[in-house]
Structure 1
C-alpha cells in the first residue's frame, strides 16, 4: 500500500465520517451542529484536495482509488442519517435522503457484482454535480440546526407576542433574533431544495449506471 499525502487525507476523511454523528453524543446543540458542520465541510474540501494532489503529483494509487468512494459514501450516508434524525423524520428530508442512500447501495452492489468490468461505470459529469449538490445541501442543513437551537435558547421565557413584535421591528432586537430567523429560513428552504435536486440527480445517475451495466447482467454471457 502507498501511504502518501493524498491517501492520508482520504483516510482522515474516512475517519471523519463517523465523527459527524459522534459530535451529537458528546456535545450539546447548537455546538454539536456547528462542530459537525465544520467537520463535514473540512472533509468535503479534502475530497477535492486529495484528488487534485494525487493527479498533480502523479501519486494515484490502488489504495486511494479504493478508499476515496468509501469515504465519500460514508460521509454522505452518516450525515444524512443524523440530519434525518434531528429533523424528526420530516418527509421533505426523509424522501430525498432515502433516494440518495438507496442509490449509493445499489450502485455499490452493481460495481461489486461486475468485478473487473466495473470500470465501465465511470463517474459522469452529472454524477459530479450530484455529489456537489449533496455536499452543499448537507452543510446548509447542519447550519439550519445550529440556527434553530440558537433561536430556541434565546426565546426561552418569551411569549409569541413578544417574538412577533421583535421580528416586526416594534420592539428592539437586542439578541439578533431577526438575522437568526432569516438564517434559519434560508438554511431550511435552501437545504431542502438542494437535497431534492441531489435526490433527483441521484436517481437519474443511478438509472444511467444500471443501463450501462445491463449488458453484463444477461444470463447468456
Structure 2
C-alpha cells in the first residue's frame, strides 16, 4: 500500500465518520454538536484536498481510489443517522435521508456486483454536486442542533411572552436569544433545502448509474 499524504487524508476522513457518533457519546450538548460540526467540516474539506493533491503530485493510487468513495459514503450515512436521531425522526429530515442512504447502499452493491466493470462508469459532475449538497446540508443541520440547544436551555425558565419579546425585539434580550433564534431558523431551513436538493440529485444520479450499468447486467445466451 502507498501511504502518501493524499491517502493518509482519505484514511483520516474514513476514521472521522464514526468519530461523529463518539462526539455525542462522550460530550454533552451543545459541545457535541459543535465538535461534530467541526469534525465533519474538516473531514469534508479533506475530500477536496486529497483528490487535488493526488492529481497535482501525481500520487493517484488504487488504495485512494478504493477508499475515497467508501469514506464519503460512511461520512454521509453516519452523519445522517445521527442527525435523524437527535431531530426526533423529523419527516423533513427522515424522508430525504432515507432516499440518500438507500441510493448509497444500492449503488455500492451494484458497484460490487459489476466488479472491474464499475471502473468504466465514471463519476459525473452531477454526482459531485450531489456530494457537495449532502455535506453542506449536514453541516448546517449540525449547526441547527447547537443553536436549538442554546435557545432551549436559556429560554427554559422564561415565560412564552418574555421569549417572544426577546426574539422579536420588543423587550430585553440579555441572553442573546435573538441571534440564537435566527441562527436556528437560518441553519434549519438552509439545511433542509440543501438536504432535499441532495435527495433529488441522489435519485437522479442513482438512476443514471443504474441505467448505464444495464448493458452489463444482461444475461448472455448461448
**Match of residue 15 from structure 1:** 15
SS in 2 for 1:210: helix
Give, in angstroms, the shift of residue 122 of structure 1.
1.1
Asked if 1:38 is matched to 2:38, the reply is yes
Give, in angstroms, the shift of residue 219 of structure 1.
1.3
Give, in angstroms, the shift of residue 120 of structure 1.
2.4
The separation in 2 between residues aligned to 1:192 and 1:65, in whole angstroms, is 31
Alignment of 1:66-145 (within 5 A): 66-145=66-145
TM value normalised by structure 1: 0.98
**Match of residue 180 from structure 1:** 180
**Match of residue 165 from structure 1:** 165
CA deviations over 1:37-96 (Å, ceiling 9, x no partner): 000000000111110000000000111111111111000000000000000001110000
Paired positions, count: 221
Segments of structure 2 that go 5 or more residues without pairing to the other structure are: none
Asked if 1:197 is matched to 2:197, the reply is yes
CA deviations over 1:162-210 (Å, ceiling 9, x no partner): 1111123221211111111011000111101100000000000000000
Asked if 1:47 is matched to 2:47, the reply is yes
- Residues 138, 195 of structure 1: 8 Å contact kept: yes
- Residues 120, 212 of structure 1: 8 Å contact kept: no
The separation in 2 between residues aligned to 1:112 and 1:121, in whole angstroms, is 13
Q: CA RMSD in A?
A: 0.8
Give, in angstroms, the shift of residue 220 of structure 1.
1.9
Q: Which runs of 4+ in 1 moved over 4 A?
A: none
SS in 2 for 1:123: coil
Which sits farther off after the overlay, 6-15 or 115-124? Answer: 115-124
- Residues 111, 121 of structure 1: 8 Å contact kept: no
The separation in 1 between residues aligned to 2:214 and 2:185, in whole angstroms, is 43
Give, in angstroms, the shift of residue 152 of structure 1.
1.2
- Residues 37, 143 of structure 1: 8 Å contact kept: yes
The separation in 2 between residues aligned to 1:119 and 1:2, in whole angstroms, is 20
